[in-house]
């Protein structure tokens, strides 16, 4: 089933989840243990990442196939990096063959240590969306949105214009990059509405495990965090290490989710980092599960 159809039918706030393929076969057992635990959330859908440069494409396909057979509504990431027309067409066909009807179309990041210098046919996520609509018109398509602009965008207006272009190219809905200021989410939604676009915008929430993991994720994705919040987490790390940061991270996530739900967000997309216990703890605090 296409996710947009589930979103149209949804009458109460929901949780969706994101997983990333384990680095090697040895980690698959623990990965599926965490997936099984997170099934308690009854996620509206589960997305699976693709790896920088599409390097984990086959593993992503294996995992979305397995998750689909487990009963999840699954969405596979797709990126522009190193994408060629024939390979992309083949991958879309393989997804459809195993019953996966949804993709998240992204520009993507280059392999670690490289800079963006791709001269292929898909330079922007909007190019990818447009091609998927032509090649696999029945496929459900999501795109990324940035409550705080992508670090390569010059202005807020430029960044939001890119989001709008992806939607107008044929995307069904938006999943946001992680953020830590709910005002930025609602400003993005309002901006899109003012420009004639009312597709669902699902806020992406990153549970904070530790101060070091937060810094690593922020450096990788270019997201920002309010200075006051960063200093609070830094102080928590100094006072009590990972345990104290974990507690403060749960409080932050619960506060954000509560404000998002009260403000009218349709649900939340949890960037699980394949860590079930932390996500379940937050979900219980927010009343999604008992």
Residues noted as catalytic? 18
User: Which residues, in sequence order, are CB contacts of 131 under 8 Å at separation 6+?
Assistant: 85, 88, 121, 122
Pairwise CA distance, residues 17 & 117, whole Å = 31
Residue 216 to residue 281: CA distance in whole angstroms: 22
Strands (E), 73-192: 74-79, 102-106, 140-145, 173-178
CA quadruple 210, 211, 216, 221: dihedral sign: positive
For the four alpha carbons of 130, 57, 148 and 246, in that order, the dihedral sign comes to positive
């Amino acid at each position: 089933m296409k996710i947009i159809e589930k979103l149209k039918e949804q009458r109460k706030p929901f949780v969706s989840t994101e997983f990333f393929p384990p680095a090697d076969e040895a980690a698959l057992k623990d990965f599926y243990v965490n997936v099984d635990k997170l099934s308690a959330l009854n996620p509206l859908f589960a997305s699976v990442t693709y790896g920088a440069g599409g390097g984990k494409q086959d593993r992503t396909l294996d995992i979305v196939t397995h998750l689909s057979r487990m009963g999840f509504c699954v969405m596979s990431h797709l990126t522009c990096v190193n994408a060629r027309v024939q390979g992309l067409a083949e991958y879309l066909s393989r997804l459809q063959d195993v019953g996966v009807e949804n993709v998240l179309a992204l520009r993507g990041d280059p392999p670690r240590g490289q800079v963006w210098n791709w001269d292929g046919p898909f330079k922007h996520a909007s190019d990818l969306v447009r091609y998927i609509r032509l090649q696999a018109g029945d496929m459900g398509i999501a795109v990324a949105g940035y409550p705080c602009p992508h670090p390569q965008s010059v202005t807020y207006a430029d960044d939001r214009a890119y989001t709008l272009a992806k939607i107008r190219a044929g995307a069904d809905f938006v999943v946001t990059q992680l953020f830590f200021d709910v005002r930025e989410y609602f400003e993005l939604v309002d901006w899109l509405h003012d420009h004639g676009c009312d597709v669902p915008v699902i806020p992406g929430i990153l549970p904070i495990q530790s101060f070091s993991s937060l810094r690593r994720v922020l450096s990788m994705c270019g997201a920002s965090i309010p200075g006051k919040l960063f200093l609070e987490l830094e102080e928590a790390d100094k006072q009590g290490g990972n345990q104290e940061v974990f507690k403060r991270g749960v409080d932050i996530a619960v506060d954000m989710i509560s404000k998002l739900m009260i403000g009218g967000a349709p649900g939340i997309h949890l960037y699980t980092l394949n860590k079930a216990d932390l996500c379940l703890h937050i979900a219980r605090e927010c009343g999604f599960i008992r």
